[in-house]
Structure 1
Amino acid sequence: MVSKFLFFLAFVLLAHIVPGQTIYPDNQIPSNTPKLFGKGVLSDGLSNRDFTISPAGDEIFFTLQQPRFLNSTILRMQKANGKWGKPQVAPFSGKYKDLEAFFTSDGKSIYFSSNRPVSGTTPKKDFDIWKISRLPNGHWGTPMHLDTIVNTDKDEFYPSVAKNGDLYFTVEAAYGKGKEDIVMCSPVKGGYSKPVSLPEAVNSPNYEFNPFIDPDEQFIMFTSFGRKDDLGGGDLYISHKDKGGNWLPAKHLPAPVNSAGIDYCPFVTRDKKYLIFTSNRANAEFSDGKTKTYQQLKNILASPGNGSDDIYWVKFDCNW
C-alpha cells in the first residue's frame, strides 16, 4: 500500500503553486537518478539549500542565501485548503543570518542555526543553535538560545534531533578528530550533556558536517570533504549502527547521487523512501559542446543548475 507520505509527496509534485505552474513539471517521482525538487519554486536558479518538512506534511522550510553568504534567510511554504502557497520568509527569520531549520519528530519544535544576538541587537560573530516551539494557537513562539554547553564561541551548524531528543550538529571543536566534527549531546535536566565527538567510523581528520540523524538513531547521513573517494567539493556518506549500537565505517554514496559539485544538507523522509539534499552540480548544457546565443546563455544562468545551490531528491536505498 502506498504510504500517506508518498501520497503527500506526489501531491507536492502535482499541486499548483501559481496558475499553470506545478512544483515538478514532468509529474514524476524520482528513481535512482536525482531530480530537482520543486523546480521553479524551491529550485529556481537562486541559491536554495537545506530542507525540512513537518510530520503533518503541511509546512516546508528551506534557506535562501545570497552570494558570498551576504545574507541567509529561512523560507516557509504552507499548505492550506489542499494547496501549497508561495515561499514566504519564515516568521522567525529575515533580520539576521538564519539557516538549516529542522523539525522535531513531534512537529512541535524547530531547531536552526543563526548569528542573531543572544542579547542586544548586534549580530554574533559566530553561529549558534536556536530552538523555537509552536504555541497552542498554532503560531511559532520566540526563538530560544540553547545553553552554553551546546553553543560556544565557535560556529554550531546543522542541528538534527532524534526522537529521544539527542542533538547532533557540526562544530569545529578542540576535542574533535578533524577540522570540523559531527558531535552529539543528550537532553538532561536543565539542558544538555557535554557534546561528544562521534567515533572515527564517522569523523575523520578532514571535514565532516551537515549530519542527518535517523529518528531512531539507526543511521546517520552527512557530508565529508577531503576524503580519497570525494568526487568534488564534498560528498554524502552514511553510517549505520550494528546490533551492539556501534557506528559502522561510513559508506560513500554512489554517483549520480554524489557529483563533481558539493552534495550536502541531507534529509531523509520519515517513511525512508526518499533522500532530499542540496547540490551545486552544473546543468549539462554548460558542457554540451554547443555554441549558444546570448539569450540562451542568460536562460541557462537564470535557471537551476547554474552553479548555485539547488534542492534535489532521489530514491533512498536502505543498502547504501
Structure 2
Amino acid sequence: MKKIVFILLWTSLQLCAQNSPNIAFENNSATAKIFIELPEFKNINLRDIAISPKYDEIFFTLDAPKNAFRTILTSKKVNGQWTAFSIASFSGNYHDIEPAFSPDGKKLFFASKRPINVEKTPKKDYDIWFVTKENGVWKHPTRLPETINSDQNEYYPSITNDGAIYFTAERPDAKGKEDIYKSEFKDGSYQTPVSLGTGVNTKTYEYNAYVSPDESFIIFGSYGRKGSLGRGDLYISFRKNAVWQDAIHLGNFVNSNQIDYCPFVTFDKKYFFFTSEKSTIQPAYKNLSMEKLKAILNDGSNGTSKIYYLSFDNLLKSLSLE
C-alpha cells in the first residue's frame, strides 16, 4: 500500500514540476488565506513551512492520507520567479517533515524517520537532522547528537540567534504528555535539554513550537487546555526577564474547531503562517448540484490540512482586542 501511495505521489509531482507555482505575499493580509495551492494534490495534506531569511527558498511537507508517506517539497526564487515545486534534494526516501532554517540561513533543520549510521531500516520515531548547502544544493544530512535525539520522538525544531534549539519531545521529565524543550548551544555542543516553564508547558500536550530568533516570543500548539476551540489550538507566550509568561490563546482569528498547528513567522516578522484542518463544508445543503459539490469538496478549506498565512501585526492587534 505504501509503495502504491509513493508511486501516485511521484507521478503527480512530475506533473506538478511542469508548472511554476503561484506564490505571492500580501502586504496586509487581515484574514487568514491559503498560501499554497497544489492542483494535482487537492485532497492531500500540506503541513509546516519554512521560508528563508532572504525570501528566496520555501520548504514545506506533503503528507499522504493517514501519514502513509511524508516528504518535503521546495521551490526557489530565480531571477524573480519561483521554480516549479520539486522534492527537496535531501528528502523523498523516508518520512521527512518540519523544515526550519537557522537565522543565518546556512542550515536547514528537519525531523525524519530515516535510518541512522549504516542501518537500512527506517526508525519508528522522529529524530532531528540538518543539512547544509554545497554549490547551491542542500546536502549531507546530519543527525543531531544523542543529547537531543533518543528512541522517542523529537520534532519541530526552531533555532535561535545564538544557536539554541527548541523542539518537541516525549521525555520522562516532561510536565505533560509532550513538552517543548530548549537545548542551549555552548562551546560547539548542545547542552542537556530543559523543559520550558509552566507559562508554556502544562499537564496536557504542548507541541510544534516556533520561537523567534531573539527569544522574545514563542508560538506553539496545545491540546486539552480549558477554553480550547478544537482538537488543538495555537498559543503565544512572551518572554520577560528570562521567564516565559502565561500563554495567550490566539483566538478564533486563527484557531478553529479542528486542529491548528505548525506555526511559523517570517524572519522580518511580517507574516504569520500556520497549518489547519479547518473546514467550510456544511452539514446540510439545498439543491446541491454536481458542480457545486465539486467546488465544495475541492476548493478552499475542505478539512485536509492546508497552510494559511496573514499579517503578523494584524495577529498581534487581534490579541489586544479580545
TM-score (structure 1 length as normaliser): 0.87
Equivalent of 2:246 in 240, 245, 249: 249
Equivalent of 2:261 in 253, 256, 264: 264
Match of 2:138, SS state, is coil
By how many angstroms is 1:189 displaced?
3.5
1:289 aligns with 285
Equivalent of 1:277 in 271, 274, 279: 274
* CA RMSD, 1 decimal: 2.1
Give, as a single letter, the amino acid of the residue that structure 1 aligns with 2:69: N
Equivalent of 1:212 in 183, 189, 210: 210
Match of 1:68, SS state, is helix
By how many angstroms is 1:291 displaced?
3.5
Partner deviation per Cα, 1:170-224 (whole Å, 9 max, x = no partner): 0111111000000000113353101100000000001000000001000000000
Q: Which moved more, 1:267-276 or 1:65-74?
A: 267-276
1:159 aligns with 157
Partner deviation per Cα, 1:67-113 (whole Å, 9 max, x = no partner): 11100000001111211122110000000000000011111100100
- Cα 1:81–1:248 shift into 2, 3 Å: same
TM-score (structure 2 length as normaliser): 0.87
By how many angstroms is 1:246 displaced?
1.1
Does the 8 Å CA contact 1:43/1:304 hold for their aligned counterparts? no
- Rounded to whole Å, the distance in 2 between the matches of 1:61 and 1:301 is 26
- Rounded to whole Å, the distance in 2 between the matches of 1:28 and 1:79 is 17
Give, as a single letter, the amino acid of the residue that structure 1 aligns with 2:185: P
Whichever structure has more helix as a proportion of its residues is: 2
1:93 aligns with 91
- Rounded to whole Å, the distance in 2 between the matches of 1:22 and 1:146 is 35
By how many angstroms is 1:57 displaced?
1.1
Does the 8 Å CA contact 2:23/2:82 hold for their aligned counterparts? no
By how many angstroms is 1:28 displaced?
5.0
1:303 aligns with 299
Give, as a single letter, the amino acid of the residue that structure 1 aligns with 2:92: G
Does the 8 Å CA contact 1:43/1:310 hold for their aligned counterparts? no
2:234 aligns with 236
Does the 8 Å CA contact 1:30/1:313 hold for their aligned counterparts? no
Equivalent of 2:193 in 177, 192, 195: 195
Q: Which segments of 5 or more consecutive residues in structure 2 lack a partner in the other structure?
A: 1-17
- Cα 1:28–1:126 shift into 2, 3 Å: closer
- Rounded to whole Å, the distance in 2 between the matches of 1:42 and 1:225 is 32
1:20-35 aligned at under 5 Å gives the runs 22-23=22-23, 28-29=26-27, 31-35=29-33
* Identical residues among aligned pairs (%): 44
- Cα 1:52–1:245 shift into 2, 3 Å: same
Give, as a single letter, the amino acid of the residue that structure 2 aligns with 1:116: R
- Rounded to whole Å, the distance in 2 between the matches of 1:111 and 1:291 is 49
- Rounded to whole Å, the distance in 2 between the matches of 1:90 and 1:30 is 30
Would you say how many aligned residue pairs link Structure 1 and Structure 2? Answer: 298
Q: Which segments of 5 or more consecutive residues in structure 1 lack a partner in the other structure?
A: 1-16
Give, as a single letter, the amino acid of the residue that structure 1 aligns with 2:285: G
- Cα 1:281–1:293 shift into 2, 3 Å: same
